[in-house]
Structure formats: structure tokens, C-alpha cells
Amino acid sequence: MAERILSDLGFRESELSIVLVDDDEIQRLNREYLSRDHPTNVLAFAMREGEDRHLNPSVLGDVVVSVETAEREARQRGVILEEEMVLLLVHGILHLLGYDHEDAPAEAVQMEAKEQEILSRLGFGDKGT
């Protein structure tokens, strides 16, 4: 699925890692790197930012997904876990590519529209994070 998403976005030759964790681990990462002491559904650690961004331009970074949170959110939204995981993967990959939804409402709208566009092409319905 990650290959399909990257291809869809025009990053066919790019690489990323996907790490599946539990709530305790994602909370630890969230606290350590973002100073937010709570679990979350997905974190993205971009390699295309910072002083080392030119070391390996084909490596986008890491997408870390809490499977526990994804399971809860899937139940709440009435979708299967696979669909929730695809949504979180798309969301994380967009973060690796520089999309953001936390600092400006206009950027959040743009990111959500891109998510919906990709999910639709992948055969998933209209869903939001």
C-alpha cells in the first residue's frame, strides 16, 4: 500500500520506513520528540528536513503508527482496521512530504483534501482523520 501511495504522489523511487507500535511506545516517542505526553495515532519523522536532509534524498523518513489507537479509531468510525491503517499511512506520508494541519487552518484543509483524493484513488471512501 505504501508503494501505491508513493507512486500516486509521484515518489515512486522514494523510501520510507513504517513502524507499528503500541500506545505506550507512541506516547514515549510523542513525549520525547514533540513534548506531548499522550498517545496519538500516527507520527512522522521526515528525513527531508534539517541539516542532514541532503544525505539521502530518496529516503523520506519514518511513519510510526499506533495499532492500538488505530483499532480504537476504526471501531469508533465503523470501519475495518485495514481502512484505518491506510488512512493513517496516507496521513503520515503526507507529513513526510511537508503537509501540515496543525499550524494553519488553510493548510489543514489542503492536507485533508489531498488525503481524500489519494484515498479515493486507492478505492477507499470519504474518510477523515
pLDDT digits (tens, 9 = 90+) for 103-122: 777 888 899 999 999 999 99
2-121: what fold?
Collagenase (Catalytic Domain) (3.40.390)
pLDDT, tens digit, for every residue of 11-43?
Answer: 999 999 999 999 999 999 999 999 999 999 999
Q: Is 109 helix (H, G, I), strand (E, B) or coil?
A: helix
Are 39 and 64 within 8 A, CB to CB? no
Are 127 and 83 within 8 A, CB to CB? yes
0.75 cut: is pTM over it?
Answer: yes
